[in-house]
Structure 1
Amino acid sequence: MPGATAVGITYNDGVLLAAEKRVSYGNFVVNKNTKKTFNVTDHVGAACAGMVADMQVLVRQVSALSKIRKLETRRNVEPNSVAKLMSVIMFERRYFPLLTQVVVGGVTTGKPEIYTLDPLGSVLPDRYAAVGTGAEMALGVMDAEFNENLDEEKATNLALKSIRSSIQRDSASGDGIDILIINKNGKSENSYPV
């Protein structure tokens, strides 16, 4: 299983999804500049750890199905609906699983929401989350410093600190950090050095 680190953090106005850029397979670094944060809909995004190709296929399917759902209902698709849709697709593929762990997050009518999914489609809601081989180190930092009243700047700093701590100890993670921020004003993406 390829290694990686991806995190999701809710803050007072939105959701932040972050992932490092390295793609590795065992001891081999396959690529040093891969984007592992994805726009699923206008108000929902995802970050992944594992096989990036599997995640790209999953995001394309869920994005297309979400557009159809939006046309049918004439409303934005909620983050929990996107997470459940991903879960169904991943569970249907359980005998030939999509080898990716996913953090889904977004903001629509309610509060910011984060969900984690494993390769078999289990959906776990949370206020912050980490997946991948560096998740233990990232969660240790987030457990100590997360609070319910973070603003965007503090959430960004927490995501950077948590991924940088995982990069220090996880050889499968590294080479920069991509951050996708989703709030009621829209989306923004930034890249940061390690």
Structure 2
Amino acid sequence: MERRKILLGSGAALTTALAGCTGSGGGDDEPDDDTESNTDDEPENDSKDTEDNSKDTENTDDSDSEKSDGTDDETSDADIPGFDGSKLSLKSDSVTVASIERTDGTVEVVATSDVTDLEKLYAELGTLADAHKSAIVDLEAFADAIESIDWVVDHEKKKVVSFSVKTEWLVSYKNGDLSAEEFLTKVKSTAE
């Protein structure tokens, strides 16, 4: 009987001691899973999380603004003087501008198309002259900085055709010295 009292007392004492350890005591033991600890690593992780979140936000903001201008994610026309890439769209359901980038004196346009037959594709490009005319908002600034606009038209990530639009043709067309048909003929002569 004495032995049972000792065992029960020991069990009760052990339970009480353990309950005190898992509570909100001020000991040096590791924190409970429900509480957060502040270690030297966590502020660094918090700042990384904040940086990652801000990068995600920046990327989301950039892609949203690019998508809102009628082109896809990769469009970057901010450094092209006198040019508004959101206005460079053909009146075609088959050809869509995917990206616009500047490399020195050249604007590089990548477009996607459902059409792979060149004759049908050229018919879809009938509004090419007007599309460029609309996109050039300051002809003088554009002509001073850019020599040509080089297009690549892809179908399922394979090149269908590439061609160049020379700035001098755009100037002639905008001034009325070149018709849309003549403009397209010149463009077709550069096709590869």
TM-score, normalized by the shorter chain, greater than 0.5: no
Higher helix content, 1 or 2: 2
Question: Please, what TM-score do these two structures have when normalized by structure 1?
Answer: 0.25
Q: Which has the higher contact order (CA 8 A, sep 6+)?
A: 1
Q: Which has the larger radius of gyration?
A: 2
Higher strand content, 1 or 2: 1
Question: Please, what TM-score do these two structures have when normalized by structure 2?
Answer: 0.26
